[in-house]
Structure 1
Amino acid sequence: MAAASHRRSLHKRRTLVVSAAVVAAGVSAGFLVMNANAAPVDLFHQTLAAKDGWASSGTGATGGAKADAAHTFTVSTRAQLVKALGSATDTTPRIIKVSGTIDANTDDAGKKLSCADYASGTGYSLSAYLKAYDPATYGRSKLPSGTQEKARAAAQSKQAKNVVFKVPANTSIVGVPGTKAGITGGMLQIQNVDNVIVRNLTFAATEDCFPQWDPTDGDDGNWNSNYDSVTLRGATHVWADHNTFSDGPHFDSANPKYYGREYQIHDGALDITKGSDLVTVERNQFTNHDKTMLIGSSDTDSVGKLRVSIHHNVWKGIVQRAPLARIGQIHIYNNLYDTTTLNGYAPQYSINSRAKAQVVAENNYWKLPSGAKPAKVLSGDGTGSVAGGGNLVNGTVTDLVAAYNSASSKKIKTTVNWTPTLTSGLEKSANNLPTSLGTTTGAGVLK
């Protein structure tokens, strides 16, 4: 019965071949998806189904479904992507079809750019920076300032102009099936806009050439990088579906250490901050990453917003923040968490509920290696809540909050102030998730 239920829940995304009659009827592309409540629709024009998580609330997520021919683009280079995105303030509906892998670290002619290219002309060098801000001489009480910090910021700004892609409202960015579509080294910035769809893309190697040293971050200081693969800042009605996120091919285990701390060149995979609201994240694969998904950038980030649904995703080789949730109403269901160490990424926890976050986590499945403890699955600061049940650990129903609270002085609360209602596709059992999600999640599945 679980397998049959899963097949029904996937019905809205099943693909089929276009017949000549359908093409003659005016369908503009050759990839169709069956929606349970409507006739077959073009993959690139598909909108979020009714009641499919928080992003379906109100006006829903339709992206660029109303785009005309002049605002429908197929792109395969960085320069083409920049042109297709246009102005971040232009609200004209647009569809951007990504064909193949776009390397963000290239110039307008397609020439590959290196960290040295971005540093050129700024006066920055890592050796000079390390000498200038060595804690043994500079101290640990203040952020770096002066010549080398200004040079680092200038070099980082040069890189940002290349790798940050600002997404306007009413936009669908969808990978063309069969082309290994994705963006390497870049960041989609969805900031202060409404109604964006991101689907069928692989995001990899989002790396900051110029991390900043912060001696005041924690007891020993930290190197902090600047780019998420996808970042939502004040964004609303966003649907992220069937994408793959990875640090590869450069994993954190290859990062050097300076001042005794890891020189971290990766930031978030998909962060939802600065009052973002009404977001659905489904059927993605998150792998080989440390700080993966941040919901709420601070403990005072926008009360009444940060409403996010996270379902049918695979998390594998994730150290933490899957997600870290603050303040908002977050529904986490039917996800698969594989906490086996992968490529040096050793999981610390999966879900962190803090700053009075109201999390409902139900019918998820955790695969824990031998010796791992269910008490380590959750984390919190003593103010957050996690409600819900039906969560399985290695096939056994487990009260995750009770396991965590038995081993921690900062107790997670078990009641929340809301009840999820936008739950289309919710499976009442997590038993089949380790099998079903392996072939129905991530980029390249939609056809």
Structure 2
Amino acid sequence: MATPPSPAHRRSLRRRRTVVVTAAAAAAGIGAGFLVLNANAASTGVDLYHQTLAAKDGWASSGTGTTGGAKADAAHTFTVSTRAQLVKALGSASGTTPRIVKIKGTIDANTDDSGKKLSCANYAAGTGYSLSAYLKAFNPSTYGRSKLPSGTQEKARAAAQAKQAKRVIFRVPANTSVVGVPGTNAGINGGMLQIQGVDNVIVRNLTFAAPQDCFPQWDPTDGNSGNWNSQYDAVTLRGATHVWADHNTFTDAPRLDTSDPTYYGRQYQIHDGDLDITKGSDLVTVERNQFTNHDKTMLIGSSDTDSVGKLRVSIHHNVWKGIVQRAPLARIGQIHIYNNYFDTKTLNGYVLQYSVNSRAKAQVVAEDNYWKTSAGQKVSKLFSGDGTGSIAGGGNLVNGTATNLVAAYNAANSKKLKTTVNWRPTLTAGLETSAKNLPTELATTTGAGVLK
């Protein structure tokens, strides 16, 4: 079993992360050859839309790298500000022609083709669904807890949910860059970017207000007390490869979980994931994003049998604040988590359960990250696992103090995390071997709106 690089080796790898503008950008008038920037500062005056992932910048730089729509011609370069325009610009999900989609301002996914706002009642109309009838039909005191809902009201709920899905899911084709226009509060409210079965996609500079499922399903068999499960992630990768998610902000605001009612003694959860990477997705780099005010934040691997040999993901220089769990939850793959800042204090009712979970034989290297904890928070709660996953790596700080988080977890739990992995990270551009400055550095260099 391999161990992660030693501190001396990691220091030799240290470099400032660069952003490369390819020859496609040069053809657009940016300049000849390649333009290299220090990405710790805003990239003023640079064509964000043609930028590609830099060499050795995480798993998404492997092989052919990630260029998105950098080769798009004028006919496949779009600026959109409405839901209908976004759907048209993305085109067919099976398309492969390079395209650039510039999002200007905030797009509300829950609108019709004319831009009229749609409510949950609009989606339910004509289906026969009503929440009161659903709650009556599947009350555990009469329906029981041994089987999923079925029958008239469940069919009606599924039909209403399908109507909403047609509005709020945006399918992204291969060789596409979806980028927010600087200075316009660019983003998507209530929608999901679905990157499924395609290669070579870039998502940058966007704020995603988590989609709200109007019709969560009750599952009485989920856990000891049942759960309400919702349908949509803000960004979901399903069998996708070579994806770069950079400088985005993910949040539940303005509809926080504290607004949700309780039915059957369980929270009526209308949010699912922020950025989920599942069903054999591979070669993904997630960097300089902000994840705030959310519960189930990032899932890597949809089940304990999801695609051995894939799910290779790099997660670096992100801010996690007001997160309950899954930062990330990792299964099976080779995941590199470095130079992230985790502020774990309770925020707007979001109470930490854990940050990083390694299970189903996941091979995680977590190094040079910074955790800020409140008085009384247990360090042993920062990691989690099922007894089969591994977390290697060092240089992690808790409130500025070097801390062996695996040892802290193992001392308090019977299902131990393994401490060695079967791979060694080499695609480590931007790795900083000291985490001490991350809280201040990442405060101004992450999330949407930073790039200019």
Q: TM-score range with shorter-chain normalisation?
A: over 0.9
Point out where structure 2 has 5 or more consecutive residues left out of the alignment. Answer: 1-11, 40-44
Identical columns (%): 81
Q: Cα offset for 1:41?
A: 5.6
Q: Distance in 1 between matches of 2:167 and 2:292?
A: 25
Q: Distance in 2 between matches of 1:346 and 1:41?
A: 39
Which residue does 1:401 correspond to in 2?
406
The AA in structure 2 aligned to 1:432 is N
Q: What root-mean-square deviation, in Å, do the aligned CA atoms of Structure 1 and Structure 2 show?
A: 2.0
Which residue does 1:18 correspond to in 2?
none
Q: Note the 1:153-172 alignment, pairs <5 A.
A: 153-172=158-177
Q: Note the 1:350-365 alignment, pairs <5 A.
A: 350-365=355-370
Q: Cα offset for 1:341?
A: 0.4
Which residue does 1:438 correspond to in 2?
443
User: TM-score w.r.t. structure 2 length?
Assistant: 0.92
Q: Distance in 1 between matches of 2:94 and 2:171?
A: 10
Q: Deviations over 1:62-96 (max 9, x none)?
A: 00000000000000000000000000001000000
State yes or no: 1:280 paired with 2:285: yes
1:406 is paired with a residue whose SS is helix
Which residue does 2:7 correspond to in 1?
none
The AA in structure 2 aligned to 1:9 is R
The AA in structure 2 aligned to 1:78 is R
Q: Deviations over 1:76-126 (max 9, x none)?
A: 000000000000001000000000000000000000000000000000000
Which residue does 2:42 correspond to in 1?
none
Q: Note the 1:247-326 alignment, pairs <5 A.
A: 247-326=252-331
Match of 2:67 among 51, 62, 82: 62
The AA in structure 2 aligned to 1:270 is L
The AA in structure 2 aligned to 1:132 is A
2:30/2:46 contact within 8 Å kept = no
Q: Note the 1:408-447 alignment, pairs <5 A.
A: 408-447=413-452
Q: Distance in 2 between matches of 1:56 and 1:274?
A: 20
Q: Distance in 1 between matches of 2:26 and 2:263?
A: 62
Which residue does 1:179 correspond to in 2?
184
Q: Cα offset for 1:36?
A: 6.6
Q: Cα offset for 1:35?
A: 3.8
The AA in structure 2 aligned to 1:245 is F
Q: Note the 1:324-343 alignment, pairs <5 A.
A: 324-343=329-348
Match of 2:16 among 5, 9, 17: 9
Which residue does 2:210 correspond to in 1?
205
1:280–1:25 CA distance, 2 compared to 1 (3 A): closer
Larger RCO: Structure 1 or Structure 2 (Cα < 8 Å, ≥ 6 residues apart)? 2
1:405 is paired with a residue whose SS is helix
2:92/2:173 contact within 8 Å kept = yes
The AA in structure 2 aligned to 1:289 is H
User: TM-score w.r.t. structure 1 length?
Assistant: 0.93
1:74 is paired with a residue whose SS is strand
Point out where structure 1 has 5 or more consecutive residues left out of the alignment. Answer: 15-22
Runs of 4+ off more than 4 Å: 23-26
1:41–1:66 CA distance, 2 compared to 1 (3 A): farther
Q: Distance in 2 between matches of 1:10 and 1:302?
A: 30
Q: Distance in 2 between matches of 1:215 and 1:346?
A: 24
Which residue does 1:139 correspond to in 2?
144
1:34/1:41 contact within 8 Å kept = no
Which residue does 2:132 correspond to in 1?
127
Q: Note the 1:26-45 alignment, pairs <5 A.
A: 26-27=28-29, 34-35=36-37, 42-45=47-50
Q: Cα offset for 1:206?
A: 1.0
Which residue does 2:194 correspond to in 1?
189
